[in-house]
Chains A and B, each alone.
Chain A
Amino acid sequence: MGIGTFGSFTQARLAIYAAQTGLTVTGNNISNINTEGYTRQRLNQVSLYTAGSDRYYARGDIRIGQGALVKSISQIRSPYLDIRFREANAQVGYLDGRLDGLNNIASILDEVGKGDESKDEDGYGILGLEFHKIFDALEQLVDQTGHQEYDNIVRQTVGNLVSKFHSYASQLQTLYDNTVTSLHQNVDKVNGILTSIRSLNEEIRKCEVHGDNALELRDERNNLIDKLSELVDINVTYSEEEISPGLTVEKLTIRLGDANPDGSVETDESLLVDGIYCGKLILEQVPQERDPKELEALRKENPDDLTLWPYLDAAGKGTLSPYVDAAGKGTDWPYTDKDGKGTEWAFVDAKGQGTEWAFTDANGEGTNDPLAADGVTPNTPNTPNKANTANTENAAFERYLKPDGKPTADESEARKVDNSNFNIKLGKLKDKIGQVHTSIVKGIVEAAAANGATAQKDPAGAAMTVEDLFKGLKSNSVSVEEADVPEAGDTTITIYTRIRSMKDGKPETDANGDPVYRYEKQVFQQIASKVVELDDNDLGGRIQAQRELLTEKGEFVDQAVIHTKDDTGPSRIGDENAGSKRGIQYYQRALDLLANQLAKVFNDANQGYRVNGDGNYITKGTNDKGEEIGIPITLTGKNVDGSDAIGTDHQPMTFQINKNDTWSKMNPFLQQALKIEVGMKADDPVSNEVGEQIVNAFLKGQSYDAATESFVDVDGVPPRGIFDGGVLISNDNASDDCSNITASNINISATWSVSSILVRSFTCLDEKTEPVSGQSDNINHLKYMFDSAKLDFIPSDLEATKDASDEIMFNGTLFEMWNQIGSTLGNDQTETGSQLDTFYGTALEIDTSRDSVSAVDFNDEAMNLMMYAKSYNAACRLMTTIDSVLDKLINNTGLTT
């Protein structure tokens, strides 16, 4: 069949329309060349061809297309490149976030090229210069010992160093606080993006239902997904979703991108977006607890105030211990072992390992059964530990702070603050009106026993069998619904089907002639979306970097974190790589450890008892002239029964205590005498560490208090030795308390700030009680310890990280430790920077590749412009030609002149 008379006009019209549409698409491409995330569009046109066969078909008939038909406008994108880009982008986000944080730390701690320019001392560093000034002051003091002004210079220089520590600690804390704020902002940003993507999904879905491709909305969505991929590691998939019979629309699903290196963790693939549902990241909030130091001080002031104690003992008095042992002493442990040490285990097995089981079977497994499974063979009994008495938890304990800063015992009233680990949860997937996403898990059809129990209950509350369900029913199908199964919020529906049994091709009947049935069941589970507690390493991207900057402590991490097997439960504490991840807290703790060691060096070197030239501790005596003199402290050795030890000369053995004698090297008779002197039994076994404490307590004039297992001052008993010096560096400039010193609280002690207590020497000449005026061996010692001694820096030395490793993280001088902090930071920066460079390059390369597919190019569009313009012209020419031809046909055909 040929074209109709005016059909050619339609052909030209369609061509003009197609060309014009092409020009419009090209124009749109050119217009959006600078629009972020815009994907170039393409006109899809087809040749219009009327298909089908005519009633009468002529073999010689020619069929021609009836013009160009604009079919659709489509985008040109490569999903593969999108996936690759987003993977690389997550790495870029993570590394960029990490480098950003490290650079911020470096802006505080990196002293390369810094210093006092006014004195041409740039390049020595700021803290580094203070280290030198202390060394120089000590060196000068050695030369000018005894002159107060040189003492003061040492104090001044130490004061300057302490100020720098404060400044750095404060800047690091500010950085930490800012990073917390930034993490909150980024979490909000992710949630904003997820909500926007959900809205776009809805809009796109609506458009698709109405036949619109919604290209611009997809661009916007892709743009948001790209942004999201920088913040968290994601995995994007597209699928078809049937929204009504025969009508499917595209469904976008975004999951976390399997970032966790631990393969056993599954939460790192949790759903973020599923079509028109999305979840939200939630930073866990916990009730704010009161400051332990403040509580401790209050307990000292008001020991009877029960709102200050977490537990109550049998007498109703407040206590800190959850248990009381047989000796009436508070303990944190429910049991006490044979050595008197607290333990969580009720028994100890033959290998000495704690266990909850009373017996161990032949396979080494714990059991409470005295006999093996055969009922004859006895299991090995384990040794029971002594059970301690549990104290009562005190409901009145005001553990928390309310938003107004007042204490409260009610957790619900407490102010909510971030969890110290900045745990993140993923909220339930919800649509825009708040309905929770559910997914259906369809089970297989399986046979069900007629007498098998079901979840259905009869009116009496007893479980009904499958057969019971169909009694009195004509229907052959019954559904049983169980709420909150398998978990709260879920629903399980089991559909039971009754089918007539067939035998020999005929319906089977029983002896009574009643029909025989068989039963089948199929389980459908409607699983509601749930809150997912994400693991430490699940997120990836910039948020992961910020969390790590806030939480990772490197060598200062609790050992439990490293050695606990990772799990996805609420504790989420396991991470075997945590020891090598260093965030702000690592640098804070490293600075704390440096400050702590500095204080320890100064305080240890500046406290002690005076000795004579032989190193024996001395005490004050009087000579014949009535003058005060120094005499060595002499003790008579004691036997275990407390009697005097007699030497080979048949005289009582006398000893002097030398400062270089360690407990282990000391004569046993002297050890026994010392123990008796401090109120212990001569045969009390003591470790070397306690032995050193005994010597110290003896010199201090202290006595052993068995109740507290410590040495305490005794009223009216003066020190036996001549104590000299005092605390130089404390945790507060108003006190001499040198416990828990950190970079933020390190201070010149109250005593040193008003007096000169720097000990020049502990060694006195014969009969003297004061060292000679210019003696400086202790200043030299202090200088050596400060500048040259290789000290062990152990993470668990800090009170705040006492559960960290006992291994030495660094051995070197104080200055070398400071250098080490800088160098660790530099290495972290270099490594992260280099990785970022690589990933940024990769991301850029992939993005360029994406652009090569999706981006607008002027040359292309110019070509399109020319092409569609020429097409338009040609179509117009076609129209003119047809018009001219028809004009001839209509107006001039058959006319004769």
Chain B
Amino acid sequence: MITRTTTVGSLKSYRYDLNRSNNTMNKRMNTALTQRTFNSYAEDPAMATRCFQLRRAFQRTASQLTVNDSLRHKYDVAWSAKLTASQDIYAMADDTSFGSIIRGANGADASGRNALGQSLTSKAKDLVQIMNGRYGENYVFGGADTLNVPFTWEPEENPVYIAAPDGTNADHAAAFQYMADPAKVADGTLPEGTLYTNDPTLANQVTVDGNQVPEENKAYNDSYPYKYLKEDGTPTNSAKEAKSVLCFRGVRVDSNAEGDIRKMEEFLKETKYVDIGLGHKERDGEAVSSSVFNSALQGVYYTGGYGTTDKIEVTLSNGNTATVEDVPQNLINIIDRLGTILQRCDPDNGNYASEEDEAEARALFKQFEDHKDLYIQRWTELDTETGFLRDNSELLTNTADSLSQQFMALEDEDPAAAISAYMFARYCYDTALKVGNSILSQSLMDYINL
């Protein structure tokens, strides 16, 4: 039996189909207008999710690129510093007269020592200034300590200085003249655990030459209340009078003290990690070093290091040999110390002020010659890292482009396809309208003639 198709039924179906047709046309129109393949999660949840991930990766890469470029500029500044400093070092190293002046016997060569000394002292100051260069508001060679000037000239500290001596503290022995009387400690006159005292009446009494005298503390050093040492080694509390020593981030560069060495080692191990798109990862809450870039440039490392060499044997101009201890490793120290020694030479004949000075000058020069390659090698490392940042910048740019292309390929509708689809939908809709016109106009009712 044929299904009875009614006017009401046809109109209802037609209305639904026309609505669908119109809906499709609207969708196609939106696609053509927005040029997007989808405009909501509902249209394609998987694709929308993918595109958001790609866009997020794109944004992340863009941020990493910005930081990478900022780092690159910082390294460019470092590189410029390197260029200036290198030129000076190369010039000194290549200058044959430099060695002659230091090593030469008294005479023509020696006469230039004062001038060279002044020049070297000035060079040391210049090098410090170069190494204290900044990129933006940050010091380039301060390691992670970017806000504080890395190299400073500080008054030499008195190693036995004690601010508040404590008789119970064995480390404060230098501040007390006498050994405390255990009986006074036992009866409570002195605090428990007191080892030393400056009061002779409370000191342990010993018999010397038949007399009862307070027992002296052999570790007593009367310079303990002074903070600084002068050039000649005498104590002072005036920072101005004190000898200037080179410090890196507050730690004396040419110090051999265990604490200072430990701090310097800490500086060299210090990191300032930056995420420049190397796949930042963490393990136990710490960044995995291979996934980030360490942007901490330690000035002390690029100037030859810290501490001193134990012993250097040198032959003096008179043919004698001498052993010089504690020769600084850092080039600025070497240059500065050389400058100081050379300036002490006799202005008339250039003679060293003393045999010790000559020995030290020769040792320093030897140290300089031994370390100049190391210095250059470390600058080369900087060069390599600058190159890496340059390459990484290109890589990040390419990644960003690629990500951008990926999400655009997924999101962006081909204009030709969008317009074609819209035109086809429009055509269908127009046709549907025409069909509707026929439905309403055609029926037997229009033809009957009673």
In contact, B36 and A113 (Cβ under 8 angstroms): yes
Contact size range, B:
35 or more
In contact, B163 and A626 (Cβ under 8 angstroms): yes
Within 8 A of A (CB), among B236-288: 249, 259, 262-263, 266-267, 269-275, 280-282, 284-287
- Binding stretch for chain A, among B52-60, B181-189, B392-400: B52-60
A774 contacts chain B at the CB level, 8 A cutoff: yes
Which among B4, B40, B51, B63 is the interface contact of A853 at CB below 8 angstroms?
Answer: B4
Within 8 A of A (CB), among B126-141: 136-138
A776 nearest CB neighbor, chain B only: B272
- In angstroms, Cα B147 to Cα A851, docked, is 84
In contact, B445 and A113 (Cβ under 8 angstroms): no
- In angstroms, Cα B59 to Cα A36, docked, is 57
- In angstroms, Cα B138 to Cα A365, docked, is 78
- Binding stretch for chain A, among B5-13, B77-85, B197-205, B332-340: B5-13
Contacts of A103 in B (CB 8 A): 42
In contact, B48 and A765 (Cβ under 8 angstroms): no
A659 nearest CB neighbor, chain B only: B285
Check A852/B171 contact, CB under 8 A, given A139-B275, A774-B145.
Answer: no
Taken residue by residue from 100 to 143, chain B's Cβ proximity to chain A (1 for < 8 Å, 0 otherwise) reads as: 00000000000000000000000000000000000011100011
In contact, B445 and A823 (Cβ under 8 angstroms): no
Contacts of A787 in B (CB 8 A): 60
B416 contacts chain A at the CB level, 8 A cutoff: no
Contacts of A113 in B (CB 8 A): 34, 36, 38-40
Which among B56, B171, B450 is the interface contact of A132 at CB below 8 angstroms?
Answer: B56
A840 nearest CB neighbor, chain B only: B16
In contact, A112 and B41 (Cβ under 8 angstroms): yes
A140 contacts chain B at the CB level, 8 A cutoff: yes
Contacts of A767 in B (CB 8 A): 259, 263
A859 contacts chain B at the CB level, 8 A cutoff: yes
Taken residue by residue from 805 to 837, chain A's Cβ proximity to chain B (1 for < 8 Å, 0 otherwise) reads as: 000000000011001101101110110010000
B26 contacts chain A at the CB level, 8 A cutoff: no
B448 contacts chain A at the CB level, 8 A cutoff: yes
Taken residue by residue from 281 to 315, chain B's Cβ proximity to chain A (1 for < 8 Å, 0 otherwise) reads as: 11011110000100000000000000000000000
In contact, A775 and B67 (Cβ under 8 angstroms): no
Taken residue by residue from 827 to 868, chain A's Cβ proximity to chain B (1 for < 8 Å, 0 otherwise) reads as: 101100100000000001001110111011111111101100
- In angstroms, Cα B45 to Cα A827, docked, is 6
B172 contacts chain A at the CB level, 8 A cutoff: yes
In contact, A866 and B448 (Cβ under 8 angstroms): yes
A125 contacts chain B at the CB level, 8 A cutoff: yes
Contacts of B63 in A (CB 8 A): 132, 135-136, 139-140
Contacts of B60 in A (CB 8 A): 132, 135, 787
B208 contacts chain A at the CB level, 8 A cutoff: no
Which among B7, B67, B161, B172 is the interface contact of A856 at CB below 8 angstroms?
Answer: B7
Which among B8, B64, B273 is the interface contact of A855 at CB below 8 angstroms?
Answer: B8
Taken residue by residue from 678 to 719, chain A's Cβ proximity to chain B (1 for < 8 Å, 0 otherwise) reads as: 000000000000000000000000000000000000000000
Contacts of B46 in A (CB 8 A): 823
In contact, B9 and A823 (Cβ under 8 angstroms): no
In contact, A625 and B450 (Cβ under 8 angstroms): no
A242 contacts chain B at the CB level, 8 A cutoff: no
A772 contacts chain B at the CB level, 8 A cutoff: yes
A784 contacts chain B at the CB level, 8 A cutoff: yes
In contact, B292 and A856 (Cβ under 8 angstroms): no
Contacts of B16 in A (CB 8 A): 844
Check A852/B4 contact, CB under 8 A, given A143-B71, A774-B272, A862-B445.
Answer: yes
Taken residue by residue from 602 to 641, chain A's Cβ proximity to chain B (1 for < 8 Å, 0 otherwise) reads as: 0000000000010000000000111100000000000000
Within 8 A of B (CB), among A122-143: 123-125, 128, 131-132, 135-136, 139-140, 142-143
In contact, A856 and B6 (Cβ under 8 angstroms): yes
A145 contacts chain B at the CB level, 8 A cutoff: yes
B2 nearest CB neighbor, chain A only: A852
- In angstroms, Cα B138 to Cα A125, docked, is 35
B87 contacts chain A at the CB level, 8 A cutoff: no
- In angstroms, Cα B3 to Cα A101, docked, is 38
B146 contacts chain A at the CB level, 8 A cutoff: yes
In contact, B40 and A112 (Cβ under 8 angstroms): yes
Which among B66, B270, B407 is the interface contact of A772 at CB below 8 angstroms?
Answer: B270
Using CB atoms and an 8 Å cutoff, list the residues of chain A in contact with chain B. Answer: 33, 102-103, 106, 110, 112-113, 123-125, 128, 131-132, 135-136, 139-140, 142-147, 613, 624-627, 660, 765-767, 772-777, 780-781, 783-784, 787-789, 815-816, 819-820, 822-823, 825-827, 829-830, 833, 844, 847-849, 851-853, 855-863, 865-866, 869
Interface CB pairs A-B, < 8 A, 29: A33-B7, A102-B42, A112-B51, A123-B55, A135-B63, A140-B66, A143-B70, A144-B138, A626-B163, A765-B263, A766-B262, A772-B270, A773-B145, A780-B273, A780-B287, A783-B275, A783-B280, A815-B56, A822-B48, A827-B45, A829-B41, A830-B43, A844-B13, A857-B6, A857-B7, A857-B8, A858-B443, A859-B445, A866-B448
